[in-house]
Amino acid sequence: MSIKYNDKTNSQEVLLAGIPATDQILSPTSKNPIANKTVYNALSAKVDKTVSDLVNYYNKTDVYNKAEVRELIGSINTLTMEVVNALPVSDISSTTIYLLKQSGVNVYDEYVYINNAWVKIGTTEMDLSDYVTTSQLSLAIADFLTETQINTLLAAKQDKQLTSQVTIGSQTIGTVEDAIDEIAGIVPTLASSSNQLAIKSDILPVDSALSDSSTNPVQNKVVKAAVDDKANQSEVNDILNVYASKNLLPSLTSTYTWNEVTYTPQSDGSIVVTGTASPDTSLAMLTTTTVLPAGSYVVSSGVTMTNPIELVIDDTNNNRLATVNSGNYRNFTIDSDTTIKCYIWIYKGTDAGGIRIYPMIRKVSIADDTYVPYAKTNKELTEELTVEAGDITRLVSFSAVTAYGLRKYGKVVELYFAGTLSEAVNTWTDFLTVPEGFRPSHYVQIVSFNTYSSCKNLQLAPSGGIQSGANLTSGEFIRFTATYIIN
């Protein structure tokens, strides 16, 4: 098809390429002409319907009858599926796919028994994140014109007289009266639609990548991908004000050994595990006090875990929230603020083999799974800088107290006292005490500044009591100071 126009001095034709197109394959719907060779090749592939062609068919004696076919089909072993709580150890069917539910999620692992061994062949989990929904598709094509609508517009415009010429990109075309805006509006649709006008890309160029210099329009999907890669405001607020880091899971701060397995923390927060668990299972507790707000999370190990080695998340009632024992992550959801426990679990007899675990819990809305070390929250840092005063309680009589003080800076406690006893105190008997919240988890040796030898062996017990390693006498002057860390 062509559009003809007359500028009163000469005549030209502007041929819009591709209308009508010549089909290269047979189609039950297309009304376009078709290439001669396509028809010739299609007819050549057909078999002439003559008696001589029967040599290409089987005789009746060479095929099975209906009863024989049914018998053969009935003898075929068919696969069945069965949901189990644990893989069976007896009466195992080699034609059954056993479905074993994963902990905490509605997903099943699929196992079959082959050559006297269990083989995992997949899971029932489906990832539909890259698929478009019906509503998304309908919205995306709502502004596109159908072929019928385009043909109607073109038919109404093709007989119009042109009054001038215009240049768009590198193309010089005529201007149709009262219609150029409508034609320009359908150009992008025509350019992306097969079997319609082939518009050169330089008429209305659309960039396929973001640029800081181009003034052309850019593809929608490019903008969408760039936006999706950015955190929204609520995620930024969470990271800055609530979490401080995307990794919410504290790691070990010192080397720990239990049941012949040693857990060695690294400078980046990862943990190297060595040794063989003996005589029983070994574990290393990473946290028992971390509080997670209600929401959905991902716990990850940063390395592929195998069943004898696990990264486990429980609540304080020992309800299992997630177990990473295959792959390197698990999702879990909590409905309310929850205090969690997290530990590495090595089964009895298992050689850890120097595995390096990168423990991390992040909000599921944070797509980037790259490991980062744990960082304290703003709240924790503020608490560490907050000064809290406490009282030292006297359990015996003092004739004079010249100085005393008890202050806590986060988890660091400073204690000092100076006074003269007015009664005797026996060995390892509490004569002073500090309140709950200022007490250490272990005995703390106290530095005494007294010249009397009997006052040089003081200690603070986990119960909060201050004691002497020697008998104290009435009239004895006691002066000491201590700085310690509480858990």
CATH code of the domain covering residue 256: 2.60.120
Flag whether pLDDT at 418 surpasses 60.
yes
Structural domain includes residue 314:
yes
Co-location of 403 and 365 in the same domain: no
Co-location of 253 and 333 in the same domain: yes
Between 151 and 429, the higher pLDDT residue: 429
- Which of 18-22, 105-109, 141-145, 319-323 is least confident? 18-22
Flag whether pLDDT at 176 surpasses 80.
no
- Number of Cβ within 10 Å of residue 232's Cβ equals 11
User: What are the residue ranges of helices labelled H in 192-331?
Assistant: 220-228, 233-237
- In the chain, pLDDT over 70 holds for what percent of residues? 73
At 242 the pLDDT is 52
Between 484 and 223, the higher pLDDT residue: 484
Co-location of 336 and 391 in the same domain: no
Flag whether pLDDT at 219 surpasses 50.
yes
Structural domain includes residue 182:
no
d(CA 129, CA 374): 29
Handedness of CA 466, 470, 473, 478 (dihedral sign): negative
Co-location of 374 and 278 in the same domain: yes
User: What's the whole-number mean pLDDT along residues 466-477?
Assistant: 89
* Tokens describing residue 15: 């041929």
- Which of 192-201, 341-350, 461-470 is least confident? 192-201
Flag whether pLDDT at 297 surpasses 90.
yes
Between 197 and 396, the higher pLDDT residue: 396
Co-location of 460 and 352 in the same domain: no
- In the chain, pLDDT over 90 holds for what percent of residues? 30
Structural domain includes residue 60:
yes
At 263 the pLDDT is 95
User: What's the whole-number mean pLDDT along residues 124-134?
Assistant: 80
CATH of the domain at 473: 2.60.40.1830
Structural domain includes residue 296:
yes
* Identity of residue 445: Q
* Domain count along the chain: 4
Of 102, 125, 148, which residue sits at a domain end? 125
Whose tokens are 């995306």? That residue is 140
Between 147 and 104, the higher pLDDT residue: 104
At 378 the pLDDT is 65
At 377 the pLDDT is 66
Flag whether pLDDT at 294 surpasses 80.
yes
Query: How sure is the predictor about 218, in pLDDT bands with cuts at 50, 70 and 90?
Result: confident
Alpha-carbon separation of residue 442 from 34, 315, 487 (angstroms): 92, 26, 10
pLDDT tens-digit series, residues 233-279: 666 655 554 555 688 898 888 898 999 999 999 999 999 999 999 99
At 387 the pLDDT is 74
User: What's the whole-number mean pLDDT along residues 33-61?
Assistant: 67
Co-location of 392 and 374 in the same domain: no
At 36 the pLDDT is 80
Flag whether pLDDT at 2 surpasses 80.
no
Of 98, 125, 152, which residue sits at a domain end? 125
Co-location of 60 and 93 in the same domain: yes
Flag whether pLDDT at 59 surpasses 50.
yes
As a whole number, the mean pLDDT across the chain is: 78
User: What's the whole-number mean pLDDT along residues 40-49?
Assistant: 67
Say if CB 350 and CB 277 are below 8 A apart: yes
- Which of 206-220, 282-296, 313-327, 410-424 is least confident? 206-220
Structural domain includes residue 201:
no
At 126 the pLDDT is 80
d(CA 114, CA 93): 10
Say if CB 408 and CB 438 are below 8 A apart: yes
Nearest to 270 by CA among 248, 257, 253, 289: 253
* Tokens describing residue 415: 């204690």
Say if CB 402 and CB 418 are below 8 A apart: yes
At 302 the pLDDT is 92
- Which of 31-35, 194-198, 364-368 is least confident? 194-198
Alpha-carbon separation of residue 366 from 33, 232, 234, 247, 297 (angstroms): 55, 10, 11, 10, 9
Co-location of 401 and 374 in the same domain: no
What is the DSSP track for 170-216? TEEEEEETTTHHHHHHHHHHHHTSTTS----TTTS--BSS--SS--S
* Tokens describing residue 313: 């998340």
Flag whether pLDDT at 458 surpasses 80.
yes
Structural domain includes residue 188:
no
Structural domain includes residue 35:
yes
Co-location of 300 and 407 in the same domain: no
> What is the H or E stretch that residue 137 is in?
helix 134-140
User: What's the whole-number mean pLDDT along residues 103-107?
Assistant: 88
Structural domain includes residue 81:
yes
Q: Express the helix, strand and coil content of the chain in percent, nearest 5 each.
A: 20, 35, 45
Between 156 and 302, the higher pLDDT residue: 302
Nearest to 253 by CA among 170, 376, 146, 338: 376
User: What's the whole-number mean pLDDT along residues 5-22?
Assistant: 51
User: What's the whole-number mean pLDDT along residues 346-370?
Assistant: 92
Co-location of 428 and 456 in the same domain: yes
Query: How sure is the predictor about 307, in pLDDT bands with cuts at 50, 70 and 90?
Result: confident
pLDDT tens-digit series, residues 371-386: 989 877 666 666 666 7
Domain that holds residue 250: 246-379
Query: How sure is the predictor about 344, in pLDDT bands with cuts at 50, 70 and 90?
Result: very high
Say if CB 279 and CB 302 are below 8 A apart: no
Co-location of 365 and 415 in the same domain: no
Co-location of 397 and 450 in the same domain: yes
Query: How sure is the predictor about 9, in pLDDT bands with cuts at 50, 70 and 90?
Result: very low
User: What's the whole-number mean pLDDT along residues 115-122?
Assistant: 89
pLDDT tens-digit series, residues 154-165: 766 555 444 445
